[in-house]
Structure 1
């Protein structure tokens, strides 16, 4: 880094020298005789104005500074010309040495200062100091063998170096915070999520979800204990999104640990419709545990439909008579949708080369959290080979359909054959 700053200092001095060059040049010219002072003053004025225009063109001066400095030059010119006219009664030339005026010196000094300050300000905002430092000194960069994937430590170090250069990168902070959550370094995860919330606009769609994750990181960082700070973050999160999964999950955990199993169930059931995959399974597991505790305590608990596992098992195959009409890499879209509807409730994507295949459709494959397989009583199951490669059906596609299929209590494996050509 010493070499970096020495280079910056050297370049700054060069810029200052260029600005001060006209002053030095004028001092040399002051020793020359037989010089027309009026013409010299005008020439100096024009030269300074040209320099100011160059500085304005390359954005080293803003318009306001340019106007102020030009006005100062004009005033100096008027004063000098007036003095010349007073001293000269005829058109004869005056062979008096030309002195550098105070205004000219001030102008040059102001320009030199502006060049230095503006250059450093621009570099501080847009420069890549950390990356340049690693380029100048490779030992500062995380080392890895050529062609190898970076280790977790190297990846974190690279991301942190990037965030030093781009501290307002909300996406980068989010990646770093989630990485630390996975490593169970919760204090660092808290700091990461705090930075995400600092730089992410509050009206962003992801803001409430990140706020819930921030509350979760605080909860784990404090040993799984709820306190006023965590509750405040949860309240702020739910004010933005009343159905935010993580915040509701934390309230359910708190209620469960306090022995209020029914309230815990209520929080988790409220969160469940928006959950998918592993979060949904975790919520269902918590609901089952709370329900079992209530039953063990002698309380009556009604059946909970959300706990019923809904899945359709399919054996998908292609009619042998249609084999010659398809390519092994063409996509196969397999999905269940409401009878007479168009939006899939669960879907998977294979290729012709994967057939025949056994496929399981369930709520984890929902296209939208509020539209799941378990939300309807009957569906039609479709398998379609897309000749265009697009999900939207077109003439010439190959398709197989089974309809209607009961969703609840389905235990048989359904045989779905692709045996039709879409007209």
Structure 2
């Protein structure tokens, strides 16, 4: 921050010097010299003319004319150097108001149209980076607000510009990107960290998770290769099983998804609270597998999702608009699997979505095992615009459980 203001002062000083310098080096003396030289040249030319006229007998009083010409030359000499110097001193006093005017104009225009507030916030965020990082890593699970997450991202980006070889910083930025569902940032940061510390299992696991959220097939293949590599290690992180099952299920490879989920069950044991959730995921995959084997054996009925939506006290319901409810996979993918619009009524309100609300025919709502629900009050009727819309989302739940959403955030 200090460097910024020092830089502005230096630029202003250079500008003032370029404007004021001519005032301390006035041109009056040079102009007087030029006029004197011009008069001498004129005097010399006029003498030559008089000589020619005298020889031609045109003039009779040549000496008198020469005397008058000399007198005119003397009369046109500048009054005195003292007067010239006094005039220059008066001009020099203009330097002070010019400097004041330039400083007032420069900083005044910057105050009106510049980004001094953003610059100050940027400096503040950078100074708060250690505190925000400590809060993020707090084992008590203190949740950062959306603004704190944005500040932490900005601070990390700034710090990494100065220390680009800080692998830990890149990992932290990548994980923040994952938490914010910013896939591009997550992949870029974690790829940088992986290049700095190759074959680090923890970094590879985070990177593979980010790559699985990408729609690019090359990224998906890379994630699969990394997870297969991690699966061959002596100590396998339980998240590897989960990510491999997730990839297999999304690819429609239900046999492999069941294999990995059962492998994860064997690792955690029946006493773990996650065991029952994994069992439901296995049952869902098994139903899809049975349907693939014999499509006519049963009519695939969708499981309805009951959603109760409430508003926080600060939300003002607009006079016009709609309520948009969307269901996503539990990983928080931005692309909804099912969605529906409802008129704005009195809150809280309860709605039900099922397979008829699926966005894509080939991917039904009932094909998911775990979901999350988002709700938004859309004010302009355009789904693609979200400015100033209020929204909220549920915690991840199992398909078939009731969802509860509180609309309490504003874009």
Global fold match (TM > 0.5): no
Larger radius of gyration: 2
TM-score computed with the length of structure 2 as normaliser = 0.32
TM-score of the superposed pair, with normalisation by structure 1 = 0.32
